[in-house]
Structure 1
Amino acid sequence: MKKTILALFAATALFACKEEHKAGTNLHISGNIKGFKQGKLYVKRIVDTNLVTLDSIIINGNSSFNSDLNIEEPEMLYLILDRGQTNSVDNQLPFFAEPGDITINSDIEGFYSRAKITGSENQKLYESFLEIKKRYTNMNLDLMERNLEATKTGNTQQLDSIEKASEKITKTRYLATINFALNNADKPIGPYIALSEVYDANIKLLDTIQKSMSPEIAKSHYGKMLTEFIDNRKKEDTVQ
C-alpha cells in the first residue's frame, strides 16, 4: 500500500512538473510529415546569422510531432528535417511563428512545397507575399528562356528588349515588396520583409517603411533591427 501511494505521489509530482513546464511555454507546434518515419526534426531560429536549435524531435515510426516553446513575440522560425544519409536539399521550412497553436503538415516527398501551415496570422501574410514574389520569379524565368533563344539566334534587338523588360520587372518587384511592407508596417511581417527582401533599396523608401511602423512594432525585434539597419546605412552613406 505504501509503495502504491509513493508511486502515485511520484506520478502526480511528475505530472505537476510537466504541467509547470507546459505553463512556461506559449507556443505549441504540432503536425505530421507524411512518409517521414525515421530521423529528426529541429525547430531553429536565426541568431547573429546562425541557425540555433530551440528544440529537437526524434521521429521513430510515427510521423507526427509536437513541440512546446516560449517566444517573446512573433518571429520567423525554421523546421529542419534531418533525413540521415541523403542528398536531398528539401529539408528546410521557414514559418512565421507567433504565440498560440500552430499546425504544420507536409510530405517527405515535398517538404517545402507541400507544407500547410495554420495558426499564425503573420504566416498567412507571409504566404500572400510569397505568391507576389512567385509571380515576378516566373516572369524572370520566362525572360531567361527568351534570352537563351535570342542569344542562340544572335537577335541583338530582342536581347535589348529583354534587358529592358528585366529591369522593369526588377523595379516593379521592388515597389510591390515595399508596398507590401508598408501595408503591413503595423505587424512584425512588415519590417521582416523590408530586411529580408529589399534591404538594398533606396534608403528613402526604407525610411518610409520605418516611419510607418506602429509604436508597438517599432519596439519589436524586427522593428528595432530595421531602425538599426537604416541608421547604419545612413552612416555609411555619409562616410562615402
Structure 2
Amino acid sequence: MKKIGLALLAVVVLASCEKKETVADANVHITGDVKGLSQGKLYLQKIEDTVAVLIDSIIISGDSRFESHIKLDSPEILYLSLDRGQTNSIDNSLPFFAEPGNIKIETTLKHFFADAKITGSKNHDLWMEYKEIGNRFNDENLILMEKRLKNELKPNQTVTDSIETAYQKLLKRKYRYTAHFAATHGDAVVAPYLALSEIADINMSYLDTIQKSLKPDVAKSKYGKIFTKYVKDRKAAEKK
C-alpha cells in the first residue's frame, strides 16, 4: 500500500493577499498566549487549492496574548505560524483543527509546536486522540527503519524478508485502526479528513464503510465533499 499525498495538505505557496473577517462576520473566536514572546508576528493560514492562504496576521508587541476572529464554513485544519525573524528554527508552525466556537491556544516561544495546548475544538481533540495511537505506529516504523539500515551494512536476505513482513503487518494495522477510527466517528469532520490524509489508497470497501458512516452535516463539510468526490473518482477509475 502506498500513501497518497493529497493536495489539500500540501503547502505550496503563501498567498500574498490577506483577508480579515470582522467580528460580526466571524463564527470562530481564537484566543491564545505564546509565553515568552514579547515581539513578533503570528500568521493564521488555511489551505485552498494547494495554496496556503493568509487569513489573519497578529502583531505581538509587549503582550504575549493574542486574539483572532475568523469565519469558517465547516471545521478544517488551520496553521498558526510564528515569524521568529532571523533564525534557523523549524519549530514555527502549529497545525490545529479549527471549528466554529471558542478555541484557546496556549504554547511557548521556546517550544512553539511541542508545548501547544489547544482546547475548545471537538475535532482537534479527536485528531489528537488518533495521533496518540498513530505515534506508536510511527515509533515501530522507526525501529524497523533502523533495522533495515543496519542490515544494509551486512545484507542478509532472511533479515530483509523478516523486516519487510513486519513492515507490511504494521502498515495493515495502522490502516485498519485508522479506518475503524474514522468509521466510528462519522459525526465529526476529522473522519473524512483522516480517510483522505492517512488511508486514501486503502481497499475501497473500507472507504465505503467510512462514507456510509458520515452524518449529513459532515458529508457536506469541506473535507466531506472532497472525500465523497475522491471515492466517486476512484470507483470510476477502478472500473476502467
Please give the TM-score of this superposition, normalised by the length of structure 1.
0.86
Q: Which residue of 1 aligns with 2:144?
A: 143
- Aligned mates of 1:231, 1:157 — CA distance in 2: 42
For 1:55, the equivalent position in structure 2 comes to: 56
Q: Secondary structure at the match of 2:231?
A: helix
* Structure with greater Cα Rg: 1
| Offset from partner CA, 1:146-189 (integer Å, 9 cap, x none) | 22233334333222211110111011111111111101112111
Q: Which string of whole-angstrom CA distances, capped at 9 and with x for unpartnered residues, describes residues 111-157 of structure 1?
A: 11111001111110000111121010000111112222333343332
**Alpha-carbon distance in 2 for matches of 1:127, 1:175:** 18
- The equivalent of 1:11 in structure 2 is none
In 2, Cα distance between the equivalents of 1:27 and 1:111? 22
Counterpart-to-counterpart distance in 2, 1:218 and 1:27: 21
**Which aligned runs of 4 or more in structure 1 are off by greater than 6 angstroms?**
none
My pick for the range that moved more, 72-81 or 123-132, is 72-81
Q: Does 1:40 align with 2:41?
A: yes
With CA pairs under 8 Å and 6+ residues apart, which has the higher RCO, 1 or 2?
2
SS at match of 1:23: coil
Q: What's the counterpart of residue 15 of structure 2? A: none
2:224 is matched with: 223
Question: Which residue pairs with 2:179 in the alignment?
Answer: 178
Identical aligned pairs, as a percentage? Answer: 48
What is the match of residue 5 of structure 1? none
- Residue ranges of structure 2 left out of the alignment (5+ in a row): 1-21
Counterparts of 1:43 and 1:109 in 2: how far apart (Å)?
19
The CA distance in 2 between the partners of 1:119 and 1:218, in whole Å, is: 22
Question: How far apart in 2 are the matches of 1:220 and 1:199?
Answer: 18
Give the letter for the 1:127 counterpart: M
Structure 1 unaligned residues grouped into runs of 5+: 1-20
Matches of 2:167 and 2:102 in 1, distance apart?
A: 42
Q: Which residues in structure 2 correspond to 1:70-85 (within 5 Å)? A: 70-85=71-86
The structure with more helix, counted as a fraction of residues: 1
Per the alignment, residue 132 of structure 2 pairs with 131
